[in-house]
Amino acid sequence: MSSQKLFLFDFDGVIVDGMNEYWHSSLLTFEKFLNCPNILIDQDLYKKVSNTFIEMRPWVKYGWEMLIIVHQIIKRKDPLNNQNKINFLNKYNQNCQKVLVENYWVADDLQKSLDNARKYQIDNNFDNWIKLHRPFYEVIDFIEKIKKNNIQTGIITTKGKIFAGKFLEKLNIFPELIFGYESGTKVEITSKLSREYEILGFIEDRRNTLIDIKQNSLTNNIPCYLADWGYLKSIDRLNLPYEIKLLKLKSLENLLAI
Ligand SMILES: [Mg+2]
């Protein structure tokens, strides 16, 4: 008997554009859940997402890194801006670690604070929180279509599982599987899944995540698609290795023909 077919999706940048939500929730984290002497949260900051933040978002792997970037953009002394951001990005991981150390922060605690800011909004102003997200309706339609074809949907996100679930519920989408950062790395999750399911594809907007999948012997036969509509660095689209394919939003439908 053949195994159940499954299609895998990343969440942020693939199913939804949450740029407003990332900015808003990061500011709220500093306002309500973190003591931080170097910054002052002016309410005007909430009105418009910083362009520097938008341009740096493709480097983010975990949610807590967004707090680091927002902190560096809004701090009073030597803030990050479009002119100097390149220095930060050139050594992105080291610089994130440096900011952690400078502020006596621990990444896990930052992540928990961000989760708390999201929970706070869900409890107090759910509709407003939902409105900060912009779904990619072509992807939502595609998920509905694969369901009709008896293919299951799995979401693998680096945010908390509950937040992706809450948003999808609102859109009347109920994936069979949702995994958040609580479940381990994406390679670990897909390795386990590949034992039980026939995985037809994984759509993700982080190039290095797809490379990790392709370099792992348990998952290297999963067809991998880099979401062209997501948070990509311009060089991400070039010379994709390991048969990773660049996928355009308008070409999603073609995946069902395979
Ligand atoms: Mg993503």
Domain boundaries along the sequence of the chain: 5-17+134-257, 19-130
Find the 169 Cα to ligand 1 centroid distance in Å.
19
Find the 14 Cα to ligand 1 centroid distance in Å.
6
Instruction: List phi, psi (to 5°) of 133.
Output: -105, 145
Find the 171 Cα to ligand 1 centroid distance in Å.
19
Please state, rounded to an integer, the average pLDDT across all residues of the chain. Answer: 94
Pair 14, 205: CB distance under 8 Å: yes
Find the 203 Cα to ligand 1 centroid distance in Å.
9
> Topology of 5-17+134-257 in CATH?
Rossmann fold (3.40.50)
Looking at the chain, the whole-number percentage of residues with pLDDT higher than 70 is: 99
pLDDT in tens, 149-189: 999 999 999 888 999 999 999 989 999 999 998 899 999 99
Count Cα atoms within 13 angstroms, Cβ side, for 129. Answer: 19
> What pLDDT score was predicted for residue 2?
66
Find the 124 Cα to ligand 1 centroid distance in Å.
26
Find the 9 Cα to ligand 1 centroid distance in Å.
9
Q: What is the mean pLDDT of residues 114-136?
A: 95
Both structure tokens of 215: 């370099």
CA dist list (Å): 168 to 122, 127, 175 = 13, 13, 8
pTM for the model:
0.92
Pair 63, 159: CB distance under 8 Å: yes
pLDDT in tens, 27-83: 999 999 998 888 989 999 999 999 999 999 999 999 999 999 999 999 999 999 999
DSSP 11: S
pLDDT at residue 118 greater than cutoff 80: yes
Find the 226 Cα to ligand 1 centroid distance in Å.
10
> What pLDDT score was predicted for residue 35?
84
Dist CA 152 CA 189 (whole Å) = 16
Find the 198 Cα to ligand 1 centroid distance in Å.
22
pLDDT at residue 116 greater than cutoff 90: yes
> What pLDDT score was predicted for residue 176?
96
Q: In sequence order, what DSSP letters do the residues of 222-246 get, joined into one string?
A: S-EEEETTSS--GGGGSS--TT-EE
